[in-house]
Amino acid sequence: MKAMVAEEEGRGMQVARAQQGLRELILAGELPPGKRVSEPAMVERLGVSRTPVRLALERLAQEGLVAPGASGGFIVRAFTAADLADAIEVRGTLEGLAARLAAERRPTAGALGPLRDCVAALDRVVAQPVLSEADFDEYVRLNAFFHEELVRLAGSGVVARAVEQAAAQPFAGPSAFVQLHATEAAGRDTLVVAQEQHRRLLEAISRGEGARAEALAAEHARVAQRRLRAALSDRDKLTGLPGGSLLRLAAAWP
Amino acid sequence: MKAMVAEEEGRGMQVARAQQGLRELILAGELPPGKRVSEPAMVERLGVSRTPVRLALERLAQEGLVAPGASGGFIVRAFTAADLADAIEVRGTLEGLAARLAAERRPTAGALGPLRDCVAALDRVVAQPVLSEADFDEYVRLNAFFHEELVRLAGSGVVARAVEQAAAQPFAGPSAFVQLHATEAAGRDTLVVAQEQHRRLLEAISRGEGARAEALAAEHARVAQRRLRAALSDRDKLTGLPGGSLLRLAAAWP
DNA sequence: GAGACTCACATTGCATGCATTTCCGCGATG
DNA sequence: CATCGCGGAAATGCATGCAATGTGAGTCTC
């Protein structure tokens, strides 16, 4: 039985497919937290053999979605509110480091070009008096680019790796929970505040103000903290959100 | 052919042995940087089959010692001075976060006990007018414990994972290069300075001075930065040190 | 003599086989 | 009625087989 569906080629394609498939299954809540991920079941569900499944599980363990079980295999992790808050704090701290390094390197106007353009584009999105859902999508896209560019400006592969790993933690990414604002009345205001921070961050970096850039980036991540708390205060908002079932507001599983 | 030597049992023993063996081979310089790690060769050298070898390589890739090659397999990574400095800076930043969190939690006197004892033990080691090599070993042991305990006091598994990953980067650990001081005249002074920082860090945490603790932890990691620079200024010191052959002071491999 | 092509070989990535261990349900027993 | 022990079945971890692909040497050509 060899790849009956979608014989796309690629070097590590089976592993990638298993990883993506597992991620979706877990975030969709089909694999309940605390339960072991059965490899044979995944083989049947994902159409790849056990070897890629195992490798994908290993990578997801690094990503934090699963954890090695005490007696073999992997179990789906659950996340407490504190876990999410800490993950965001870690990302903010590392982005602060990246921002400081970027500022201290005194980037040239040319090097800052992409970030300037990104901020300008974000300005245009946020400036609108009313934001459609598509606008929020566009914001998410540009916001992601801003954070990538910020890390790139730090000029360090090591720092980039660290930030990427931190942002890959579930719900810790720079755009986590942004979608929730799309249905909120005051959703636009949050984006206005965040965008102001983007502008000031760009300013601090372009002026070589390292400490200010670091503090701004850390504070910027705390917008995500507030989004998280708002989401947690309203369980309805979590239901249906990818990964919502992984949250354990009060600890202790069966 | 099943494990002719040392049939120690264990759940992931083959993978662990492969990982440890590969680490040693790489740090010993037997696998030159930039070269692909041949799986069959490792099978022969390590006495385990290809599956554990592959898994170990995947984990070492996360650890940073190897990187996935462009066309399959893994290649031994080389490190520039900037890489090492950045890795140390990342660790210092995250330890700063851990120290701040620890301080902000206002740990009880009881919770601070192990850290106090550790600092006291370090005091006794450093207070001696002359330090033997065994004293340096003891310092390394206690220093590692101090850093573990610091992270534990932050009370966050997420932060702990982040710090551990940062400290696992080659040469980024809290005790990297300490051994070099054992043969230096002024070696003891560096330990005196570092130990003063340990004391002040403990003080800041016990008083709940979060920002001070954060700054102290970050600055404390910069002791490692200076050790690194001292080591790099003297190639002789690197030769023979585990992993010394991985350093590429000027970039570009064959 | 230098460079590009070709072809055989070694290696990788995936699939699968096998022994050991663990889990789960069932029955026995206090 | 609850708890303990036990047996079968499934799952894991490791080893290995197989096809596809990259590598490298040797050779041919300009």
- List bases, strand C, within 7 Å of protein CB: 10-17, 21-23
Indicate the pTM of the whole model: 0.91
Interface probe for A, chosen from B93, B153, B214 (most Cβ of A below 10 Å), is: B93
Q: Which residues of A160-191 are buried (b: 16+ CB within 10 A; e: fewer)?
A: bbbbebbbebbbbbbbbbbbbbbeeeebbebb
pLDDT digits (tens, 9 = 90+) for A44-69: 999 999 999 999 999 999 999 999 99
CA-CA distance, B128 to B125, in Å (whole number)?
6
Angstrom distance, A142 CA to D13 C1' = 44
More confident residue, B133 or B50: B50
User: Which chain A residues in 42-71 lie under 8 Å from chain B, judged by CB atoms?
Assistant: 51, 54-55, 58-59, 62, 64, 71
Q: What share of chain A is helix, strand, coil (3-state, %, to 5)?
A: 65, 5, 30
**Helix or strand (DSSP H, E) at A66:** strand A66-68
pLDDT in tens, B167-209: 999 899 999 888 777 677 677 888 999 999 999 999 999 999 9
Measure CA A212 to chain center: 24
Least reliable range by pLDDT among A155-169, A179-193, B101-115: A179-193
Contact A195, A138 (CB under 8 A): no
Q: Is the CB of B40 under 7 A from strand C?
A: yes
pLDDT at B4 (0 to 100):
40
The reply to whether A41 has its C-beta less than 7 Å from any atom of strand C is no
**All domains in chain B, ordered by first residue:** 1-76 (1.10.10.10), 81-246 (1.20.120.530)
Nucleotide minimizing C1' to CA distance for residue A71: C22
User: Would the pLDDT of B5 be above 70?
Assistant: no
Q: Strand C closer than 7 Å to the CB of A15?
A: yes
**Longest distance between any two alpha carbons in chain B, whole Å:** 60
Which chain A residue has its CA at the smallest distance from B63's CA? A62
* Residue of A51, A77, A90 best to disrupt the B interface, most CBs of B under 10 A: A90
High-pLDDT (> 70) share of chain B, %? 93
pLDDT in tens, B44-70: 999 999 999 999 999 999 999 999 998
Contact between A169 and B159 using a beta-carbon 8 Å cutoff:
no
Any CB–CB contact under 8 A between A39 and chain B? no
The pLDDT tens digits for B19-45 are 999 999 999 989 999 999 999 999 999
Q: β-strand A66-68 against A74-76: which pairing, if any?
A: antiparallel
Q: Is B37 near strand C, with its CB below 7 A from some atom of it?
A: yes
- Which residues does chain B have within 8 Å of residue A162's beta carbon, measured at their own beta carbons? 90, 165-166
C-alpha R_g of chain B: 20
Distance CA A167, CA A91 (A): 6
Q: Does B95 touch chain A (CB under 8 A)?
A: no
